[in-house]
Structure 1
Amino acid sequence: MSAEDGTYHALLARHDAMRLRRQMLSTGGFPGTDSGSGIRGPVGQSCDGQPYGGQSHEGQPYEGAADQQVIMRHLDLVTPFEELIAHLYDALFTRHPSLRSLFPAEMAFQQAHLTRAFWYLLEHLDRPEQITATFTQLGRDHRKLGVRPAQYAAFETALCEALRIRAGAHWSAELEQAWVRMVRFGITAMVQGADAALHEPPCWEATVTAHRLCGPDLAVLRVRPHETFRYRAGQYTALESARLPHTWRSYYLAGDPGRDGELEFHVRCTGTGGVSEALVCHTAVGDRVRLGPPKGNLGLGEEPTGELRLVAWDTGWAAMKALLQELEGRLRPASEHRTGRVRLFLGADALSDLYDTEYLTGFERRRPWLTVVPVTGGVPGEGAYDRLARAVTRSRPAPAGRALLAGPPAMVRTVTAALTRAGLPADHVRHDPLPAGPRDLPASVGAFGSAGARVFQSQSIPA
């Protein structure tokens, strides 16, 4: 072990001891569950011994707008982020080789994920409460990767080294400190999110109980977790195949939670060498998978009123299947004729891409309140999303109606825009987070166009 790595592991042990001490001294249960608002910080130290947390050195709440302006003013020095991140990971793994085992063999997806995180932070620095909410969830989710506070500190030191390399002669202490404060604010929320989730497993081991091919590139899997896995209809979770350690992809949970303890996933193979191919082509009954914590914004909410439009593309049907089963469970037989109309729009490039049709046909036949509208054909790709949007808005939505969307980000953006143009209030359209990027930054922050995606998660919108 190198001297550098020895220093790191000593710091790791110190952070674990501090974390345990906070738990033991906590009077309100698990750390991070107090009722106060905002980030309490500081919760740890960086590798240079400086504290990091959600408050400034003067104990005042973090004011991110000033750092936002500094970073954006010098953004051309460190972008594209892909190059900055490549330097970051080079520095991280050079200083701490043992950390490499926490990451997948193929780093492209991880680098894209971190790029989205940076863009999200930049967009929301003037709204720190949104960063707190999002990164608290992110910290909870990262527990499945085995990440601990001292590892975040190692990440920060590597980031500083990467910033100096990218900025070169134009590097300044002002720029580095703005980046460090931004990252520390997000890290503090992540650490508190992880601490608040200590009562649940970081991940769930599960055994595959059924694997049904619905075509050459589509499989429906059923798995049984070894511990109780609680979720809400419409949520998704990340899956890891034993064939690809430390590589996770998000999939919607199909079906009503809690019926038989098994979980159902619909997986479309999107390429070679990834998680989807492993699950579709190389997984069999008896194999093991791991699940991350459930998350997601889809949900029926209170008792539905007005017309409900469910819009799914391809395997987005999994989320709608769960929501329909929950809706049915809420309805009493005597009230079914009084429930608001539910219209399910299922989109696909071709009729042959629709699946689970036998189940859906039977479900619709016995529920007079449900109408299913398949939408296929047209130009493959995003052109087909326009066709789906036209079908969804063919009858103008009532202002009291609602719409829930599940599918690729381009589809979600296209249908959301069509619904709002047709008169449905924006807050009546619900979908899961869309990937953030430079084109999503508001014009007041930089010359990158209008804001589109509002939320960043540890995984992009489910496959």
Structure 2
Amino acid sequence: MRDLDLVAPLDELITDLYRALFTRHPSLRSLFPATMAFQQAQLARAFWYLIEHLHRPEEITRTFTQLGRDHRKLGVRPAQYTAFKDALCEALRVRAGEYWSPELERAWMRMLQLGVTAMIRGAEAALREPPCWRATVTDHRLYGPDLAVLRLLPHETFRYRAGQYTTLECARLPHTWRPYYLADGPGPDGELELHVRRSGPGGVSEMLVRHTAPGDEVRLGPPKGNLTLDAEPPDTLQLVAWDTGWAAVKALLQELASSVRRSSAHRVRRVGLFLGADSLSDLHDIEYLTGLEQRHSWLTVVPMTGGAPTEGRYDRLVLAVTRSAPLAEGRTLIAGPPDMVRTVTDGLVRAGHPAERVVHDPLPTGPHALPRFTQGHGTPGDSMPPGQQVLA
């Protein structure tokens, strides 16, 4: 967008936007978390996503349709989108000052309208499903001081696909949602498993790791994500995970094993799993992983640890993945922190792996992209994909 520099820096534009929004509509403040810094970073990501994808409106529509579905859990109504647009117009006038013009405002409104229209349609299309799901913690196990595996039982049926993630809100931090991968495929008992790495003090990840116990209640947002298998299992598949990105891959392996077990027509020639962590002690769920490899001849597990101080953190992982199989075959699915996902993806493409065969969830975009997209959802300790919680 040519006029972006007229209202820069973007974080100050967003500060002015929320100031105008809450001044005009004080009641909307209750939809937002007490601390706005994280929220403002997410809106910056959403703006950058729109700016960088203006030449791909179909992708914006697809992303923001899902976003509108997800925003139902926050209680956002169509009239509030109008309030948001009005606040943005006021913020644009403040930031641009003497450089403001009707053309500048119209450019921003056209961009925003593309996303808002898709969000409203996404919300309307999801009216038959709950905006969110209440769930009770049934089990909580610590794997070290900063890592926990939780089991949850939703109070209503929660439909999702293996490899997807959900956003979660705990009672101690209302209006604060963070994403986490679901570590098992849909099962008959309806329970869900989450792997959570504490990423810092005071956030959702700390609440879940250190201050949550069986019997506590949480809320879940609609499932989403790109890390799903095709209807027909591929002959060759590479799965790459770092730390709690293992949760998504665990669900995919369960689904794959179930498909092979149910039908002799579902044959898998080779699946390679590259599972990394900063240290051996951070590799958790090892007994389950060992048993899985012993039961399935088509599965090969390659555990990895971070590189030495003189190496890049993920250099060993990239080398192992790129050397493992003919690059023209199969797909590679990647789950983990965004810097790992980017590094492995770049390494595969440089080595000749077709980019369209590399699959991962959206990464933060633009200058405000933050690290650690997937620490707890494989996600993210307390980081999120771009554009989530745009309005609240």
With the length of structure 1 as denominator, give the TM-score of the two structures: 0.78
1:111 to 2:55 alignment: no
Alignment of 1:260-271 (within 5 A): 260-271=189-200
- Structure 1 residue 225: deviation in Å? 0.4
CA distance in 1: counterparts of 2:111 and 2:342, whole angstroms? 28
Alignment of 1:63-142 (within 5 A): 72-142=1-71
Aligned 8 A contact 1:82 1:115 in 2: yes
Partner of 2:373: none
CA distance in 2: counterparts of 1:116 and 1:338, whole angstroms? 41
- Structure 1 residue 182: deviation in Å? 1.4
CA distance in 1: counterparts of 2:221 and 2:58, whole angstroms? 25
The 3-state SS of whatever aligns with 2:284 is coil
Alignment of 1:336-355 (within 5 A): 339-355=268-284
CA distance in 1: counterparts of 2:267 and 2:119, whole angstroms? 45
Letter in 2 for 1:328: A
The 3-state SS of whatever aligns with 1:220 is strand
Question: Could you list the runs of 5+ residues in structure 1 that have no partner in the other structure?
Answer: 1-71, 441-454
Match of 1:144 among 69, 73, 80: 73
Partner of 1:414: 343
CA distance in 1: counterparts of 2:159 and 2:118, whole angstroms? 24
Aligned 8 A contact 1:211 1:221 in 2: yes
- Structure 1 residue 134: deviation in Å? 1.0
Q: What is the CA RMSD across the aligned residues, in angstroms?
A: 2.0
1:249 to 2:178 alignment: yes
Aligned 8 A contact 1:250 1:459 in 2: no
What do residues 372-412 of structure 1 show as CA deviations (whole Å, max 9, x unaligned)?
Answer: 11001424799222221111112343312211000011100
Q: Which has the larger radius of gyration?
A: 1
The 3-state SS of whatever aligns with 1:305 is coil
Partner of 1:153: 82
1:458 to 2:388 alignment: yes
Aligned 8 A contact 2:135 2:154 in 1: yes
What do residues 21-50 of structure 1 show as CA deviations (whole Å, max 9, x unaligned)?
Answer: xxxxxxxxxxxxxxxxxxxxxxxxxxxxxx
1:176 to 2:86 alignment: no
Aligned 8 A contact 2:306 2:314 in 1: no
- Structure 1 residue 305: deviation in Å? 2.8
How many aligned residue pairs are there? 375
Deviates more, 1:181-190 or 1:381-390: 381-390
Aligned 8 A contact 1:401 1:424 in 2: no
Partner of 1:217: 146
Partner of 1:203: 132
Aligned 8 A contact 2:233 2:266 in 1: no
CA distance in 2: counterparts of 1:343 and 1:248, whole angstroms? 33
Identify if the C-alpha distance between structure 1 residues 127 and 210 changes in structure 2 by more than 3 Å, giving closer, same or farther: same
- Structure 1 residue 177: deviation in Å? 1.3
Letter in 1 for 2:280: L
Identify if the C-alpha distance between structure 1 residues 204 and 337 changes in structure 2 by more than 3 Å, giving closer, same or farther: closer
1:287 to 2:287 alignment: no
- Structure 1 residue 338: deviation in Å? 5.2
- Structure 1 residue 265: deviation in Å? 0.2
Aligned 8 A contact 1:397 1:419 in 2: no
Question: Could you list the runs of 5+ residues in structure 2 that have no partner in the other structure?
Answer: 370-384
